[in-house]
């Protein structure tokens, strides 16, 4: 039987379609094999990956750091500069500014935090110099970091070593650029801390004249004026510095301290409160302005409001041993001797959460140094006065051993030890006498 011609064409077409389909399948298998081999070898990226985001440059982090410092947020500024040096570990300028801000933030921290922050500042300043030994700014900031480290340690050998390094760095900075106002200012600060007052003042004035629009030059000049007792002129220079860095609260704390030295308490409180308001606007829970306010009210004999401000500071930082010490001093000055013992214990020897009557958290006691010595001798004195000599004598002997050459402090410790001796002989309980508060304000970088 013959197949009709039209049917034959139909079958022929189907045969060709079948062969085409086989060819397409074969090509698909070849393509799949090529794709899979490319995918697993890394030549081909997976489909539907998210669009890559652009990598931030070190320069953008530097700009962020500058903006945060201008706003007064030092923690955010430091974090931005740390990001900058992570992205670009050869960026000398970022290391310089990071070290500078780490040093400048240290006075706003607890003693332990400040020591760690200054160690980081030294390391970053060292790295800046290592990257560019011909950078005057790098050596200048290294001088700042080591000088402020010297002011934070009680160990004589360590202090002298830091000051020696600071002096070498400052000299090197000015040798590299004799017109660098930043280097001149930091060299003046080092000279001041070495006791070369007249030369320090001359260099500080020169730095201001060379660069009157730099916060650092006015700050250093103010520090030198303050340290030599020219409190009114120091206030003028700190305010000039504050005009250039209006949200750096440390400057307002310094203004307030100098007003307090002049016994102009209303003005002092105004600037401490200004610092507190700036922090509140930034959402920063910084206890330092409230400690400063508390100490000012204590000077005026207004102990209730002083204690309220110290307690507010504790709410911001409930493990800060320094604030417990300040609260203890306030209560002691108010003649609430028994009430002063719990916070002073937390400040000096530390306390457990159960022992902490203020905040119910554990607190680590402070090491004995210039920042804490008033807490130590006050705690020892009140324990002695309340006939708790077994606890008082180890504290007082520790103070006496370290400050034997300081007439005021040694005298306080020895007098309280004598109280314990008399108690053992007579069994009487003498009235506690507040120790001198001359140590409050003006040792190196003044406390709030």
Three-state secondary structure string covering 48-109? CCCCCCCCCCHHHHHHHHHHHHHHCCHHHHHHHHHHHHHHCCCCHHHHHHHHHHHHHHHHHC
Same domain, 151 and 199: no
Which two three-digit tokens encode residue 210? 């060379």
Contacts by residues 305-312 (CB-CB < 8 Å, ≥ 24 positions apart): 306/330, 307/331, 307/334, 311/358, 312/287
Which two three-digit tokens encode residue 183? 């280097």
Q: Are 77 and 101 in contact (CB under 8 A)?
A: yes
- Which sign, positive or negative, has the C-alpha torsion 227, 231, 232, 238? positive
Same domain, 195 and 167: no
- DSSP class of 3: P
Looking up residue 80, the CATH number of its domain turns out to be 1.25.40.10
Same domain, 166 and 224: no
Same domain, 333 and 276: no
Q: Are 96 and 135 in contact (CB under 8 A)?
A: yes
Query: Distance from first CA to last CA of the chain, Å, rounded?
Result: 117
Same domain, 172 and 234: no
User: Structural domain tally of the chain?
Assistant: 3
Query: What does the alpha-carbon distance between residue 256 and residue 156 come to, in Å, rounded to a whole number?
Result: 30
Distances (CA, A) of 239 to 123, 130, 374, 410: 31, 35, 30, 37
Query: What does the alpha-carbon distance between residue 290 and residue 269 come to, in Å, rounded to a whole number?
Result: 10
pLDDT at 346: 97
Residue 246 lies inside a defined structural domain of this protein: yes
Residue 13 lies inside a defined structural domain of this protein: no
Question: Which of 178, 203, 223 is at the close of a domain?
Answer: 178
**CA 87 to the chain's CA centroid:** 24
Percent of the chain with pLDDT over 90: 73
- Adjacent-strand bridge partners of 351: 363
Distances (CA, A) of 315 to 50, 310, 360: 45, 9, 11
Report the largest interatomic distance among the alpha carbons of the chain, rounded to a whole angstrom: 145
- Adjacent-strand bridge partners of 160: none
Same domain, 271 and 338: no
Q: Secondary structure of the chain: what % helix, strand, coil (to 5)?
A: 70, 0, 25
Which two three-digit tokens encode residue 397? 């002997």
Which two three-digit tokens encode residue 376? 């130590």
Domain carrying residue 381:
324-426
Query: Using N-to-C axis directions, what is the helix angle for 181-193 and 156-176, rounded to 10°?
Result: 150
Same domain, 112 and 163: yes
Query: What does the alpha-carbon distance between residue 285 and residue 249 come to, in Å, rounded to a whole number?
Result: 12
- Adjacent-strand bridge partners of 363: 351
Q: Is the pLDDT of residue 439 over 80?
A: no
Q: Are 310 and 291 in contact (CB under 8 A)?
A: yes
Q: How confident is the model at residue 109 (pLDDT cuts 50, 70, 90)?
A: confident
Residue 392 lies inside a defined structural domain of this protein: yes
Average pLDDT for 232-250: 97
Residue 319 lies inside a defined structural domain of this protein: no
Question: Which of 178, 201, 219 is at the close of a domain?
Answer: 178
Give residue-wise pLDDT tens across range 336-368: 999 999 999 999 999 999 999 999 999 999 999
Query: What does the alpha-carbon distance between residue 102 and residue 389 come to, in Å, rounded to a whole number?
Result: 42
For the ranges 40-49, 119-128, 232-241, 254-263, the lowest mean pLDDT is seen at 40-49
Query: What does the alpha-carbon distance between residue 248 and residue 323 come to, in Å, rounded to a whole number?
Result: 22
Q: What is the dihedral of CA 116, 284, 281, 67, to 10 degrees?
A: 40
Same domain, 215 and 155: no
Query: What does the alpha-carbon distance between residue 70 and residue 75 come to, in Å, rounded to a whole number?
Result: 12
Residue 89 lies inside a defined structural domain of this protein: yes
Average pLDDT for 196-217: 97
Residue 172 lies inside a defined structural domain of this protein: yes
Same domain, 167 and 228: no
pTM of the model: 0.80
**CA 143 to the chain's CA centroid:** 17
Give the residue with greater pLDDT, 15 vs 188: 188
Query: What does the alpha-carbon distance between residue 442 and residue 371 come to, in Å, rounded to a whole number?
Result: 11
Q: How confident is the model at residue 384 (pLDDT cuts 50, 70, 90)?
A: very high
pLDDT at 112: 82
pLDDT at 262: 97
Question: Which of 178, 207, 235 is at the close of a domain?
Answer: 178
Same domain, 174 and 195: no
Q: Three-state SS for 229?
A: coil
Average pLDDT for 178-191: 97
Same domain, 65 and 159: yes
Distances (CA, A) of 36 to 71, 325, 342: 54, 70, 72
- Which sign, positive or negative, has the C-alpha torsion 133, 134, 138, 140? positive
For the ranges 20-29, 97-106, 235-244, 305-314, the lowest mean pLDDT is seen at 20-29
Same domain, 153 and 203: no
Q: Are 136 and 180 in contact (CB under 8 A)?
A: yes
Q: Is the pLDDT of residue 26 over 60?
A: no
């Amino acid at each position: 039987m013959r197949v009709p011609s039209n049917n034959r064409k139909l079958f022929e077409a189907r045969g060709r379609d079948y062969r085409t389909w086989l060819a397409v399948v074969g090509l698909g298998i070849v393509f799949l094999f090529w794709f899979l081999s490319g995918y697993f070898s890394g030549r081909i990226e997976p489909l539907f990956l998210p669009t890559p985001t652009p990598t931030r440059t070190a320069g953008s982090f530097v700009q962020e750091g500058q903006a945060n410092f201008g706003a007064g947020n030092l923690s955010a500024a430091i974090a931005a500069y740390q990001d900058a040096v992570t992205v670009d570990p050869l960026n000398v300028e970022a290391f310089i500014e990071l070290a500078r801000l780490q040093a400048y933030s240290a006075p706003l921290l607890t003693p332990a935090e400040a020591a760690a922050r200054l160690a980081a500042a030294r390391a970053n300043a060292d790295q800046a110099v290592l990257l560019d030994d011909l950078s005057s700014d790098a050596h200048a900031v290294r001088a700042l970091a080591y000088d402020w480290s010297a002011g934070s340690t009680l160990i004589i050998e360590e202090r002298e070593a830091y000051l020696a390094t600071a002096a070498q760095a400052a000299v090197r900075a000015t040798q590299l650029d004799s017109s660098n106002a930043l280097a001149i200012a930091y060299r003046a600060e080092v000279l001041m801390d070495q006791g070369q007052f007249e030369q320090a003042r001359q260099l500080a004035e020169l730095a201001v004249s060379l660069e009157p629009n730099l916060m650092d030059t006015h700050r250093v000049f103010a520090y030198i004026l303050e340290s030599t007792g020219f409190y009114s002129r120091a206030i003028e220079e700190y305010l000039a510095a504050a005009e250039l860095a209006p949200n750096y609260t440390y400057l307002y704390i310094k203004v307030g301290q100098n007003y307090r030295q002049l016994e102009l308490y209303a003005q002092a409180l105004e600037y401490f409160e200004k610092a507190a308001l700036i922090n509140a606007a930034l959402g920063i829970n910084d206890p330092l302005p409230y400690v400063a306010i508390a100490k000012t009210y204590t000077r005026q004999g207004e102990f209730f409001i002083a204690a309220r401000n110290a307690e507010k500071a504790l709410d911001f930082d409930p493990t800060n041993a320094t604030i417990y010490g300040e609260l203890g001093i306030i209560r002691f000055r108010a003649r609430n001797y028994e009430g002063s013992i719990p916070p002073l214990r937390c400040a000096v020897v530390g306390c457990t959460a159960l022992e902490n009557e203020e905040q119910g958290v554990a607190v680590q006691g402070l090491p004995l140094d210039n920042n804490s010595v008033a807490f130590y001798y006050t705690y020892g004195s009140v324990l002695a006065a309340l006939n708790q000599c077994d606890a008082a004598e180890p504290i007082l002997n520790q103070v006496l051993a370290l400050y034997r050459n300081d007439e005021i402090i040694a005298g306080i410790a020895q007098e309280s030890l004598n109280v314990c001796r008399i108690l053992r002989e007579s069994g009487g309980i003498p009235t506690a006498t507040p120790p001198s508060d001359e140590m409050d304000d003006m040792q190196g970088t003044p406390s709030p």
